[in-house]
Structures are given as C-alpha cells and as structure tokens.
C-alpha cells in the first residue's frame, strides 16, 4: 500500500507544481532559488529528454504510455512478493514520475519542466527538469540495484 501511496503522492505533487508553474510563471522567465543553486523556469518540452522526438510527438506519447503500462505490469507482479523493498520503491518512484510526464504528454501535449541547476557549465544550465525526471532516474537506479538483491 505504501508504494501505491508513493506513486499517487509523486503524481499529485507534480500535478500541483506544474499547474502552479503554468499559472504563475512566464515562459523564458528565470528566478534564482536556494542562493542561485536552482533556477526556476517555465519550459514546455514537446518531445522527450532534451526535446528529442519533438517532431514525432504522437510517437513519443505512445511510447510513454506503452512503457508506463509495461512498468505497471512489472510493479503489480512485484507487489505480492516478499522482500524487494528497493525494487518496489524504485518502481514506485519510476511510475510516479512516468505517470506525471505521460499525463502531461496526453493532456497538455507537452511536459511542463520548471527548474535548472545554477551551474557555470552552460550546457547543463540550459537543461530544464521537473521532479518527475528525477523520480524516474532514481527509480531506474533503484531497479538496477534491487534486481541484483534477490
């Protein structure tokens, strides 16, 4: 049950944050936060990571739905098994982020990204993320770690 709540919590938090960003931030506006470590922005990502697939948005949305469904099936199969806390937590993080970004792709036709890192390296500074991106990345790493423990 806790894993399902984690998925719902990520999805709900992201929905709230993204709706706030959509209503209260202007595209191109940049505000420093945490002493400049983060840059708050509003960016509509019409593709996947770094706008890859921007020209084939329906395909990106289809793949997003398909991968979310496959990972949901894996998650459901692991729920009944004993142990595997790292694996289940990883799947929950991954799914919470995936559901949020997939929702955006289907509903808004773009993913709302809203922060960058205030670093000197300009290539990284220009990349805009959302919390779901990190949930997906951390969840995927936990899947790798968790799959080797059983």
Instruction: Provide the annotated active-site residues.
Output: 113, 133
Cα 86 off chain centre by: 19
User: What kind and span of H or E run contains 105?
Assistant: helix 85-107
Crossing angle for the helix pair 57-79 and 85-107, to the nearest 10 degrees: 150
In terms of Cα–Cα distance, which of 134, 123, 109, 137 is closest to 50?
123
User: What kind and span of H or E run contains 41?
Assistant: strand 38-45
- Rounded Cα distance between 108 and 104, Å, is 5
């Amino acid at each position: 049950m806790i894993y399902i709540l984690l998925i719902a919590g990520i999805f709900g938090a992201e929905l709230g944050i993204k709706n706030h960003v959509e209503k209260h931030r202007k595209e191109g506006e940049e505000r420093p936060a945490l002493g400049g470590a983060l840059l708050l922005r509003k960016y509509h990502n019409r593709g996947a990571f770094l706008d890859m697939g921007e020209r084939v948005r329906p395909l990106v949305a289809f793949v997003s739905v398909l991968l979310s469904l496959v990972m949901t099936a894996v998650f459901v199969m692991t729920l009944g098994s004993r142990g595997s806390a790292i694996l289940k937590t990883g799947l929950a993080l991954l799914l919470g982020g995936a559901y949020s970004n997939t929702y955006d792709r289907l509903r808004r036709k773009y993913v709302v990204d809203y922060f960058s890192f205030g670093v000197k390296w300009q290539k990284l500074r220009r990349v805009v993320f959302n919390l779901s991106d990190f949930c997906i990345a951390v969840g995927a790493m936990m899947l790798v770690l968790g799959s080797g423990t059983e």
